[in-house]
């Protein structure tokens, strides 16, 4: 442990003792933070009073079961190429089906690293419909919007997306309003905040009195952020502080946001574990709606219940730790995932399994 971290731990302990609460729950809503906290053993060096809980910071994990099934159904269509980021391919739908299984059965499903690759693929395969599974938070949306702009410029009409992107702040409101969780402060996502800036979180401090700190990803960044949250609680104030100051500005990346809202508009969205959250999704604007791959199904995507026994929804809300799920570690493993939280490298269950953080 670095000497600087030791010094901050020495500062944290007396503040904890001065606070009346028996337990202080801070939530991180970024999968990279979840991984960094577990990998570095941060929970083990903090006072027992501090409880770090993982929120819905993994976009693959919060994608609704209905959307997962819709994506899998698209792979059954003739003359279709499905393109996706890597984690999505292994997420189980209903009946334990997945894109990985469909690929093994002969469906044309390809992993890509940049949405523009799918536009290139559509140009080279004019007899196919190329669908990109647009799953992610604000960090990835500018790239997806740029791919649509590029497809428009090239007049590549056989390029589509499955719009399942989500935005974080409305979900944070839903979490705060759930008194069962009892959040005392947020470790806000660094990568997302590079795009959004700090201002979208101000309602948490101003309307709900919840301290927020936008954190970087090194252990020291996270420890400093916890210290700053504790100081706010001790001083009985709530604000949005930027610890990740080299990269995050209060106003965010204006150019990236302009690109997003040139193509997308806010809409209600279904989150696994949290249900429908108003204004938390991004749908294509009317002039680009013909690129919505869901329309190729020519049917409504039904609501699908959670897999029996899977408690991913409770994990994503911070109500339980992954080891408290009865399936964790024996029925549900990274090799044989039952729920999405065990699939993604940033999913809470996968992280707990890998680092035995429990």
pTM of the model: 0.94
Residue 303, pLDDT score? 74
pLDDT for position 2: 85
**pLDDT, position 357:** 60
* pLDDT score at 304: 74
Q: Helix/strand/coil (H, E, C) string of the chain?
A: CCHHHHHHHHHHHHHHHHCCCCCEEEEECCHHHHHHHHHCCHHHHCCCCEEEEECCCCHHHHECHHHHHHHHHHCCCCCEEEEECHHHHHCCCHHHCCHHHHHHCCCCEEECCCHHHHHHHHHHCCCCEEEEEECCCCCCHHHHHHHHHHHHHHCCCCEEEEECCECHHHHHHHHHHCCCCCCCEEEECHHHHHHHCCHHHHHHHHHHCCCEEECCCCHHHHHHHHHHHHHHHHCCCCCEEECCCCCCCCCCCHHHHHHHHHHEEEEEEEECCCEEEEEEEEEECHHHHHHEHHHHHCCCCCCCCCCCCCCHHHHHCCCCCHHHCCCECCCECCCCCCCHHHCCCCCHHHHHHHHCCC
Predicted pLDDT of residue 95:
78
Q: For residue 1, what pLDDT is reported?
A: 60
Residues 255-272 have pLDDT tens digits of 999 999 999 999 999 999
Tell me the average pLDDT of the chain: 94
List of domains in the chain: 1-353 (3.40.50.11740)
Averaged pLDDT in 10-residue chunks for the chain of 358 residues: 89 94 95 95 95 94 94 95 94 88 96 97 97 97 98 98 97 94 96 97 98 97 98 97 96 97 97 95 98 90 79 94 94 92 92 81
Per-residue model confidence as pLDDT tens digits over 156-169: 999 999 999 999 99
- Give the pLDDT confidence of 325-339 residue by residue, as tens digits: 999 999 999 999 999
């Amino acid at each position: 442990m670095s000497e600087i971290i030791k010094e901050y731990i020495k500062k944290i302990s007396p503040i904890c003792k001065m606070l009346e609460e028996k337990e202080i729950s801070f939530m991180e809503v970024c999968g990279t933070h979840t991984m960094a906290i577990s990998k570095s053993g941060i929970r083990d060096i903090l006072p027992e009073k501090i409880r770090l809980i993982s929120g819905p910071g993994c976009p693959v994990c919060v994608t609704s079961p209905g959307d997962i099934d819709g994506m899998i159904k698209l792979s059954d269509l003739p003359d279709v190429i499905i393109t996706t980021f890597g984690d999505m391919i292994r997420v189980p739908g209903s009946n334990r089906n997945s894109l990985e299984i469909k690929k093994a059965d002969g469906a044309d499903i390809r992993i890509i690293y940049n949405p523009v690759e799918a536009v290139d693929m559509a140009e080279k395969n004019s007899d196919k419909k190329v669908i990109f599974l647009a799953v992610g938070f604000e960090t990835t949306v500018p790239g997806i919007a740029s791919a649509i702009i590029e497809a428009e410029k090239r007049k590549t009409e056989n390029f589509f997306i499955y719009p399942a992107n989500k935005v974080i702040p409305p979900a944070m409101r839903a979490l705060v309003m759930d008194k069962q969780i009892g959040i005392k402060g947020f470790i806000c996502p660094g990568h997302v905040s590079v795009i959004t800036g700090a201002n979208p979180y101000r309602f948490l401090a101003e309307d709900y009195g919840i301290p927020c700190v936008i954190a970087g990803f090194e252990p020291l960044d996270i420890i400093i952020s916890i210290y700053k949250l504790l100081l706010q609680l001790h001083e009985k104030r709530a604000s949005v502080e930027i610890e990740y100051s080299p990269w995050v500005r209060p106003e965010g990346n204006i150019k990236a946001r302009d690109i997003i809202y040139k193509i997308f508009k806010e809409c209600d969205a279904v989150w696994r574990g949290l249900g429908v959250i108003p204004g938390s999704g991004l749908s294509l604007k009317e002039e680009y709606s013909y690129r919505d791959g869901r329309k190729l199904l020519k049917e409504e995507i039904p609501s699908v219940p959670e897999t029996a026994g899977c408690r991913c929804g409770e994990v994503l809300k911070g109500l339980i730790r992954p080891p408290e799920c009865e399936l964790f570690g024996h029925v549900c493993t990274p090799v044989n995932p039952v729920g999405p939280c065990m699939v993604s490298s940033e999913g809470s269950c996968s992280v707990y399994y890998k680092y035995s953080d429990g």
